[in-house]
Structure 1
Amino acid sequence: MKSMIHEHLKTNKLIVSKTVSKYLMALLVISAISFSGCRDTKKEKTEEEHGHSHDDDSDHTHEHEEVKQEEFTVGKDSLKTEEKTHTHENGEKHHDH
């Protein structure tokens, strides 16, 4: 009789343990979503952060700076592959093999 009572208690403890674990896991998931997904990420305009203002897209606004395009010249195509050929005694050209 005593062993049946112990088995019944073990079974009940296991069921309660699994149920509590499920509730804790659900609570952790809900908490994680609440803290990470439901906060307001849009910041107000401020100059206090690092000394200058930003526009609506959080880009730096520098009215005093002029945007210039860098100029450069390409001398050679670095991706171009050179086909190597050879000429036979009879004058025929062939790709290297």
Structure 2
Amino acid sequence: MNQSIISGLGNIYSNECLFHAGILPTRISNTLSFYEVKKLVFIIKLVLKSSIKLGGTTIKNFICTNRIFGLFHRNLYVYNRKNKKCYLCNNLIISIIQNKRKSFFCDFCQY
């Protein structure tokens, strides 16, 4: 989530990438193993390619000039799902504030 470590990922994609990589957003980056970093890089590329293919993420009041709305919001596993069941384990999604940004995660699927 720290933009000084990996920049360019928005809050939505940061939350989703960390979920799919199984990494808690509260983890300090230097505690990640080489395998976890490699997996995270792979997941980031996968999530961003998928989002681009689906036209991005349109949430709430975003207005497109060409009237084409992004469909990636249909693929969100954790973002903006506080107190809803995790699709993988049925535990509730948790939300916390980190650096003035909301982080959403499943404390069972992510560690």
Q: TM-score, normalised to structure 2's length?
A: 0.21
Structure with the greater alpha carbon radius of gyration: 1
Higher relative contact order structure (alpha carbons within 8 Å, sequence separation ≥ 6) = 2
